[in-house]
Amino acid sequence: MGAVTSTVAARFAFFPPSPPSYGVQPLPAPAATPAPAPGAGAGEGKKGGDGGGTVLELTGVPRRGNVEARRLRTKRGTEVVAMYVRQTGARLTLLYSHGNAADLGQMYELFVELSAHLNVNLMGYDYSGYGQSSGKPSEQNTYADIEAVYRCLVETYGASEENIILYGQSVGSGPTLDLASRLPRLRAVVLHSPILSGLRVMYPVKHTYWFDIYKNIDKIPLVRCPVLVIHGTADEVVDCSHGRALWELAKVKYEPLWIKGGNHCNLELYPEYIKHLKKFVGAIEKSPPPSDESSESTGPSDRTPTEPEGTEDSRKSLDCKDKTRPSIDHRHSTDRRDKPRGSVDRRDKSRKSVDHPERPRASVDQSDRPRKSIDRFGGMMKSVRLCNIDCFKVTATSGS
């Protein structure tokens, strides 16, 4: 039973586009270059630092001066392709792990638009076996993939842990939360249509089994930074209950965005999506970086996160409340958290800091229609194929 379920979970989880929607090629050699120093080797493209990999050129997508692509080697021996979008004046960097049935070519325009609208540097990448990345997709490979990309951000682009926001969409919530659980000074996390675990997408199990994949339900209590959850209420691929349960389990909550009528693959088309994201990034930018009482962090550790006491009992039912967790403004009173707010005006007034993180906005409960072409971001996203609507459904050809 365990072997069969594990096989099914592994097969439904990964659907890399075939053929890839983009290509890569070495950067063209400059017209005139000085002779190499003795002992210097000639390689494909430019070399970065220890984690910088090889600089490449993406083909099949528009060429932009602020976009750079690299091939990075992971600790598991695969090579993944990543793209970095530089935004002038940005103080934060978004590390984006995309969903299923997508690659960098399909996500390219979204990454460029998000970088501009949120005023952040953005790093996106393809998992092993996706796009022009080598190897085969697997849970463990995705963990190594995001770690290699994170190290490139730190070592090559000068990003620091406390100025990085991890963004995980759908299956990308797996590597995102795995890395976030091992970075004590991470700035923030965004979970977009996330999953509680691979098995829970298919079956309403109440316990975590050893053969399950992407056990986000076990890892999110270990994340110390603010967590924003975005999920569509009409998601037929990953039910909205996954997002709600993860938000409940987060230690440091930011007000979630439940998009009424939104499904698994169209949340970027709703006005509330970019509006709420901009508000979140602005609040995170104004809030002080997290402090860590332990010694300075140099990167993700290789240890397997241990489960905090009491989480097993709290997971017996998704409807159970977890113990009180501190919000971003460090309010610990359970009574204050559970009391309804005095009025909608109080809940909706603008905030100068990350305030009232545990109560959804009134506007989220109203029906939001996708934006028209008058909005540049929404108009652009209408032309982008973001993911396959069936990316989490087991196909009839899956083995028994």
Is residue 264 part of the annotated active site? The answer reads yes
DSSP conformation class of 229: E
How many residues belong to the chain? Answer: 400
The amino acid sitting at 64 is R
Cα end-to-end distance, the chain, whole Å = 11
Can you give the C-alpha Rg of the chain in angstroms?
Answer: 21
Q: Which of 97, 133, 170, 173 is catalytic?
A: 170
- Contacts of 106-110 with C-beta under 8 Å, sequence gap 24+, read 106/17, 106/21, 106/384, 106/385, 106/386, 107/384, 107/386, 108/22, 108/58, 108/61, 108/62, 108/83, 109/380, 109/381, 109/383, 109/384, 110/268, 110/380, 110/381, 110/384, 110/386
- 355: alpha, beta or left? (left if phi > 0; alpha if psi -120 to 50): beta
Q: Which of 235, 242, 276, 356 is catalytic?
A: 235
Is residue 383 part of the annotated active site? The answer reads no
Is residue 276 part of the annotated active site? The answer reads no
C-beta atoms surrounding 365 within 10 Å: 11
In sequence order, which residues have a C-beta less than 8 Å from that of residue 360 and are 6 or more positions away? 255, 256, 257, 258
Residue ranges with strand state E in 196-242: 226-232
Burial of 350 (0-12, 13-18, 19+ CB in 10 A): exposed
**Contact between residue 121 and residue 93 where contact means Cβ atoms under 8 Å apart:** yes
Kindly report whether the peptide bond that precedes residue 38 is cis, defined as omega within 30 degrees of 0. Answer: no
**CA–CA separation, 383 and 18 (whole Å):** 20
In sequence order, which residues have a C-beta less than 8 Å from that of residue 138 and are 6 or more positions away? 10, 14, 128
Closest CA to 230 of 254, 199, 196: 254
Write phi, then psi, for 194 (nearest 5 degrees): -80, 170
Q: Which of 264, 276, 356, 368 is catalytic?
A: 264
Give me the active site residues, please: 170, 235, 264
